[in-house]
Structure 1
Amino acid sequence: MNEPMNTLACRHNRHLQGVTLIELLVGMTLAVLVLATAFNLFTSSTKTASDLQNRNELQAELQIAQNYLAAQVREAVYVFPNNTTLNLGTGYTTKRPVTGSWRIGSAAAPVLAFIKPPEDVTVNCPANENGCYKFYAYYPVLRSYWVGNATSYNNPGQDPQNDNRWVLAEYRANYSTPPLLSTLSSAYTPPAGGQGRLLLDYVQPTALALAGTPTLFVQQDAPAPANVQASGSVSVTLNFALSRQLRGSVMNLPGRGASTPAADTVRAVTVFPRNLGSLAP
């Protein structure tokens, strides 16, 4: 029996009309899901690549700064012993993270100070600074304070998420005449004209460290009297760790987890100054 003409006409009209509204909505929904999945994969891979790049940059900066400081300490002719109080003057480059004075051995505001010999003994000081003994000090400053006051060449840039991190500063001053051992008192003011500069950014402050984490500088003094130093009698351990908050997540170097021992949350290098004992009494 032949199919009625009106039924054939309906089928022909439906074919000419294309997809129905429901079919169109289903197709659009599937397309949106596919695009959303692709977008999430793209943004996730982009974030992963960006985080990896930032971690590598922090890793390189930490390594360079620690190697540099270790080389500086290795050349020291004198390392200021624990409990020495330092008067580094005022200004943003010497602003202590907590109240009080800079004191060697402090955990809340660690500081390391030493004297290096002339780089070139054939030139005269102070006409040529390469012929001068130099005072060096290294210490942390609150990042928000440093950024809020630093000049352009010394300013790492605004980063409000990390205002509570530290920057590591280097302070240096030249001696116009060779320092005498007898003048290096337990309350010491370095030569005038010293300047501070940025050495390392995003240093992990004590407040963010795990309980038991070694402080930034750990110093083993010479036997008493501590100011009479000989080669091998003093050691300085540099315990570096960086911490940066980025896009809602915290990046720690070295990395750490819930079960990481506190001692493993820093990169430690121990240095023995090799020129100790060469200062005149």
Structure 2
Amino acid sequence: MKRNRAFTLIEVLITLLILGILGLAFVRILGTTLHATGRINAENELLGEVQIAEQIIVSKAMAAWYLYPPGTEVEFNGGATTYNALAGSSTWTVGSDPILAMILPPKKPGGGCTSGGPTEGCYRLLAYYAFPRIHYQASVGPTQQLQDDPRNDDTWVLMEFRANLYGFVPDTTCSNIPVPDGSFSGLSGRLLVEYVQPETEAPNYTIFNVQPDGRVVLHLRMRKAIAGTTLKVPRASQPPLSLEVNARNFLRGCP
């Protein structure tokens, strides 16, 4: 009887040991699976956000009447949300800084365009530009701030700026195109998308490539650090997400 009980006890201990090993393996597999699922979900979220941002920018560029060419210096108003934090200046230079600036045609040609009145007849200034996420956090009030995420403070955000061009109507030679000179007081930039990978982190990566003939090539990469890993969309070995668009209304009506 003692031998049988001793043998049974050993069997129980061995069985418990095997179950413990199997349980530990299961927990590790489950943890790995959950981590992989979380990574995939986070990558898909980044991909969805960048695709929406690209479609917004492309749709506006496609409708543009004018695209400010490389070398053009633009200034909106010197406010924090339009400040070129990358260069430490209120001025942006198309082609050198990450900015795309354009003029959209009136929503209703021949309509009114007055400050405080109807604006459907206004030509409209629209710009997209990038600066560090940490600068955005310092530039806006508490209600507009993003979730605190110091691991990603060095990533960029893409901003959008809009303004009506009161009083502007192209002359017969289209030689009077206004260049933003800082006169848009009281207006702010607004956030389009966060977690944009800085241009300096990848070769041959320029967010906005503007051509003099009314073409725009848009390149975007996303980066986000989460739980001990860094997500990149697309992967570092892959080219950036790119779209090319022609401004269909480019200088329409000009000789």
Under a length normalisation based on structure 2, what TM-score does the superposition of the two structures give? Answer: 0.85
Deviation at 1:183, TM superposition (A): 4.2
Residue-pair matches, total: 248
Deviation at 1:124, TM superposition (A): 2.0
Which one of 43, 48, 56 corresponds to residue 36 of structure 2? 48
In structure 2, what is the equivalent of residue 98 of structure 1?
87
Which one of 132, 141, 146 corresponds to residue 142 of structure 1? 132
Deviation at 1:121, TM superposition (A): 3.2
* Counterpart-to-counterpart distance in 1, 2:29 and 2:18: 17
Deviation at 1:95, TM superposition (A): 2.9
Corresponding residue SS for 1:195: coil
Which one of 170, 180, 205 corresponds to residue 214 of structure 1? 205
Corresponding residue SS for 2:120: helix
Q: Which ranges of structure 2 fall in alignment gaps of 5 or more residues?
A: none
In structure 2, what is the equivalent of residue 228 of structure 1?
none
Return closer, same or farther for 1:279/1:162 CA change in 2, 3 Å cut-off: farther
* Counterpart-to-counterpart distance in 2, 1:17 and 1:215: 74
Instruction: Return the letter of the residue paired with 1:167.
Output: V
CA displacement, residues 93-139 of structure 1 (integer Å, 9 cap, x when unaligned): 12322324310111xx3111011111123642232333322111111
Deviation at 1:172, TM superposition (A): 0.7
Instruction: Return the letter of the residue paired with 1:217.
Output: F
* Counterpart-to-counterpart distance in 1, 2:229 and 2:74: 37
Instruction: Return the letter of the residue paired with 2:61.
Output: V
Instruction: Return the letter of the residue paired with 2:87.
Output: V
2:240 pairs with 1:273:
no
Asked whether the equivalents of residues 204 and 242 of structure 1 are also in contact (C-alpha less than 8 Å), the reply is yes
In structure 1, what is the equivalent of residue 51 of structure 2?
63
* Counterpart-to-counterpart distance in 2, 1:178 and 1:104: 22
Corresponding residue SS for 2:87: coil
* Counterpart-to-counterpart distance in 2, 1:16 and 1:276: 92
Which one of 98, 107, 113 corresponds to residue 119 of structure 1? 107
Under a length normalisation based on structure 1, what TM-score does the superposition of the two structures give? Answer: 0.78
Return closer, same or farther for 1:280/1:188 CA change in 2, 3 Å cut-off: farther
Q: Which ranges of structure 1 fall in alignment gaps of 5 or more residues?
A: 1-11, 222-232
Select between 187-196 and 29-38 the one with higher mean Cα deviation: 187-196
Deviation at 1:191, TM superposition (A): 3.8
Q: State the percentage of identical aligned residues.
A: 27
Root mean square deviation, CA, Å: 2.6
